[in-house]
Structure 1
């Protein structure tokens, strides 16, 4: 398997093991219960190392939105890292994130063309190329910008990796009106609405090249290079059960009827996510403005709650633990809380206090923005706020006892 190489890669590879352990210092409790929901302010590399002893192999889904390295300067973070520096920043964090994942867990990373393709090779190295699941194209913008040079950028990538492909499986997405509208009932079949599909395919099937006769006496054979997907005996049985559709006048080539009552309760996720399905940047900015009552330009490209909801629906079940170590405006933690998942969010900047903390307090209080109405969120639960404390001299000292003892301490 090919590997990336860059200046100071050797130091980046060793960085995860060399990060000193820190205590997690309790600051405040919010809401009722929720002791496992943690908002941590501090460098995420040190915070991840602090979490490993107590949370190794416990996280079901990691959802991160790291700096895109767009060579832009933002108020809260530097997005102007030299390419090698960006790789060196990501490598040890990915190593520690992998340690935190459950065997049936998954990692979801949003990026754009600046680093997505390099990140793919980097994660192949850390997670194993065999554990790459897919690359999703999310339509973050739905209008063209005629002022753009050459192309108007309208999408981000979401790279998905499993801790172990053998143990991970995607949940189906809920069926919606869009999928159900395809089911009709033109022949008033008492079994209800149905959809028709071809009864032939390229694959060879035993006894799959016979001829059939329709209601009008017209004979049909599979198109050239194709074969019937069922045996002649099974075809006759389906026709006798009126599960073969010959068209309204009985003259069309046969197609198989599948009833709405027979289909799966959900839909297999696709790899192209439209803004109608998963939200868009403008929607995310509107959510931030509604939360804080003003334009929060410090968050240039926040993620909409619907995007995170879709990820968590596919990757988790209620009660599972979700982690975001690049928490930003707090969207992942907010959505996880509303969906009944446990969560850990890590953010370095002062906005961990000024934005993430009050946003999550509003979630606990029952704020009705974002996905609240669609998931029936009315408020409840709680969380604990921590900062990175003193460095621990013993390298193998467990943070589990540190967090446990800190919970009962008096906040500063």
Structure 2
């Protein structure tokens, strides 16, 4: 029987295995011979001492943090969830670095789109300092304190921010599907550093766009020089060669521009410029309008087509001189020839995707007039990203969830196109200020506001679409999980007490933890989706958890006999997990594997 080691995905070992497949000759006694590797790579090895690189104090540790395994887990919290048994959505409380690590086994290469709105590092933002030795313990301790800002007076103002962002983005890339994309909101303070970090992690070749969002429309006259009214949104693909953009839907306003003033049998059209620049000699010639007027292209420009091609288009009634036949020539573009979608541009105007003030007012209405967030993102802003790079069954993640705008946007777009997109929200339970309206209203941390926003938004969407066919199938629920250290003493990396460890073999589950806590930890370590159906049932008087309609059976009971094993085997699972000390005696343990294999169960594990 194989023993689960309780750790998350091993990034380093995975990289080594990939290297073995590509270059088996560079391994000597399971170690990498770098001289052989350099010979294998030939001229593509940088040997110069002075070379282009982007570095800062702590970067090596930041890289190691991204690779470090953890035995942490996520504990289910049904009482704060909505539609626990049916929903496919997740809301996870905890330090996002640890949560991303924990999710790697179950969601590696599965997330289609990530959007994050991280701290902008303005000097007032909280910038979390990770701890290499035990980040979960560090998270718990920090969670009891008031969150600290990253003041500009700090000598390592940019460094602290980079050390926070680097490992999170590194793991985020692992979670993206091959055709996945990430959008990152940022302002002027860190745009240059963020782009350099993303170029390093995702590759310069996978840069898609630097979008400019017009987040406000009126100037702040107190500003000394300029009143900034935009944010940047960096967009990167995991692999741009397999990533497709859906494009933007044609708007009614755009379609209304197509007319048919000459009753052309090919249908509605609109005219476009027939002169272009710079000038090309063979496309400079005189055109005579139907009214007899002689026209040459403007200085420095030429006609769109050569003389011969122009004559062909003229005969085909594709050149328009205006209703009186005396205007400058224009070319006809027919609606039937236009793509169903538009290629997006890199400036997103507030008139198209909303602005911060509008987002704040809409959120305020949702909370009955109370204002809890100063700068929430626009729902339509996130919906545009979803329209461009998600499909109806995509998994969408936001690991700086904040006010949970991304979850709101996912539910709205699903209501519009009957989609089944799923969201994974991750947020640090940052305490609200005791003087704030949010705290006085009973919201002790940001997560409590975010969860309530999703509850209210879901009900609002259902009410607004109550007459729409199939709206009752819309998933407005979410499962709440909270980051914690492992449920099992035997996986506790902090243990240094041999006597206690031996006693733990009798009862390896920590005090206050339930069998269900352990079940979800097993799913995470096994790499199973957290929203897979789980049924608690009885098999020969022992509690068994049936995961994924019986695909995986988990029995955490004690004193298991061969009769119990036989009855479990008859359920024909593909995988089975037991407690290591759950068997009645060694005879049962030895024979259990043979019984299970006889019924076709090959994957048998113990904890």
Is the TM value for this pair above 0.5? yes
Aligned to 1:291: 366
1:388 is the counterpart of 2:388: no
1:282 is the counterpart of 2:357: yes
Unpaired segments ≥5 residues, structure 2: 1-50, 127-144, 152-156, 415-420, 431-444, 494-521, 537-544, 546-607
1:138 is the counterpart of 2:213: yes
* Aligned equivalent of 2:171, options 71, 96, 103: 96
Aligned to 1:14: 64
Aligned to 1:45: 97
Whether contact under 8 Å (1:50, 1:399) holds in the other structure is: no
Whether contact under 8 Å (2:278, 2:301) holds in the other structure is: yes
Aligned to 1:119: 194
1:4 is the counterpart of 2:99: no
1:190, CA displacement in angstroms?
5.2
Matched residues in 2 for 1:158 and 1:280: separation? 14
* Aligned equivalent of 1:317, options 381, 391, 397: 391
Whether contact under 8 Å (1:213, 1:220) holds in the other structure is: yes
* Aligned equivalent of 1:335, options 409, 416, 428: 409
Matched residues in 1 for 2:529 and 2:234: separation? 34
Matched residues in 2 for 1:114 and 1:389: separation? 33
1:11, CA displacement in angstroms?
0.8
Whether contact under 8 Å (1:27, 1:387) holds in the other structure is: yes
Whether contact under 8 Å (1:205, 1:231) holds in the other structure is: no
Q: Secondary structure at the match of 1:15?
A: helix
CA 1:127 to 1:202, structure 2 compared with 1: closer, same or farther past 3 Å?
same
Give the structure-2-normalised TM-score.
Answer: 0.61
1:301 is the counterpart of 2:375: yes
1:242, CA displacement in angstroms?
1.8
Whether contact under 8 Å (2:106, 2:529) holds in the other structure is: no
1:189, CA displacement in angstroms?
4.2
Whether contact under 8 Å (2:88, 2:531) holds in the other structure is: no
Q: Secondary structure at the match of 1:40?
A: strand
More displaced, 390-399 or 230-239?
390-399
* Aligned equivalent of 1:178, options 253, 270, 286: 253
1:35, CA displacement in angstroms?
4.4
Q: What per-residue deviation string (whole Å, max 9, x for no partner) do you get for residues 198-245 of structure 1? A: 234347889644544331334445445544433444422322232101
Aligned to 1:400: 527
* Aligned equivalent of 1:270, options 335, 345, 351: 345
Give the structure-1-normalised TM-score.
Answer: 0.87
1:107, CA displacement in angstroms?
0.6
Q: What per-residue deviation string (whole Å, max 9, x for no partner) do you get for residues 108-146 of structure 1? A: 001111111210111111111111111111111111111
Aligned to 1:87: 162
More displaced, 225-234 or 147-156?
225-234
The answer to which structure, 1 or 2, has the higher relative contact order (CA under 8 A, 6+ apart) is 1
Q: What per-residue deviation string (whole Å, max 9, x for no partner) do you get for residues 219-272 of structure 1? A: 445445544433444422322232101123323332101123332222221111
Q: Secondary structure at the match of 2:77?
A: strand
Q: Secondary structure at the match of 1:71?
A: coil
Whether contact under 8 Å (2:94, 2:482) holds in the other structure is: yes
Whether contact under 8 Å (1:62, 1:106) holds in the other structure is: yes
Matched residues in 2 for 1:77 and 1:296: separation? 21
The structure with more radius of gyration: 2
Matched residues in 2 for 1:40 and 1:262: separation? 47
CA 1:73 to 1:317, structure 2 compared with 1: closer, same or farther past 3 Å?
closer
Aligned to 1:365: 459
Whether contact under 8 Å (2:105, 2:528) holds in the other structure is: no
CA 1:147 to 1:408, structure 2 compared with 1: closer, same or farther past 3 Å?
farther
More displaced, 262-271 or 77-86?
77-86
CA 1:76 to 1:276, structure 2 compared with 1: closer, same or farther past 3 Å?
farther
Matched residues in 1 for 2:117 and 2:328: separation? 50
The count of corresponding residues between Structure 1 and Structure 2 is 407
Matched residues in 2 for 1:399 and 1:358: separation? 31
Whether contact under 8 Å (1:322, 1:342) holds in the other structure is: yes
Whether contact under 8 Å (2:85, 2:533) holds in the other structure is: no
Matched residues in 1 for 2:458 and 2:118: separation? 26
Matched residues in 1 for 2:101 and 2:525: separation? 10
1:387, CA displacement in angstroms?
1.1
CA 1:322 to 1:402, structure 2 compared with 1: closer, same or farther past 3 Å?
closer
Unpaired segments ≥5 residues, structure 1: none
Q: Secondary structure at the match of 2:82?
A: strand
CA 1:352 to 1:72, structure 2 compared with 1: closer, same or farther past 3 Å?
closer
1:92, CA displacement in angstroms?
0.2
1:353, CA displacement in angstroms?
4.4
Matched residues in 2 for 1:58 and 1:42: separation? 21
Matched residues in 1 for 2:236 and 2:344: separation? 15
Whether contact under 8 Å (2:248, 2:343) holds in the other structure is: yes
Matched residues in 1 for 2:355 and 2:470: separation? 21
Structure with the larger strand share: 1
Q: Secondary structure at the match of 2:185?
A: strand
Q: Secondary structure at the match of 1:179?
A: helix
Aligned to 2:582: none
CA 1:105 to 1:292, structure 2 compared with 1: closer, same or farther past 3 Å?
same
Q: Secondary structure at the match of 1:31?
A: coil
CA 1:160 to 1:376, structure 2 compared with 1: closer, same or farther past 3 Å?
farther
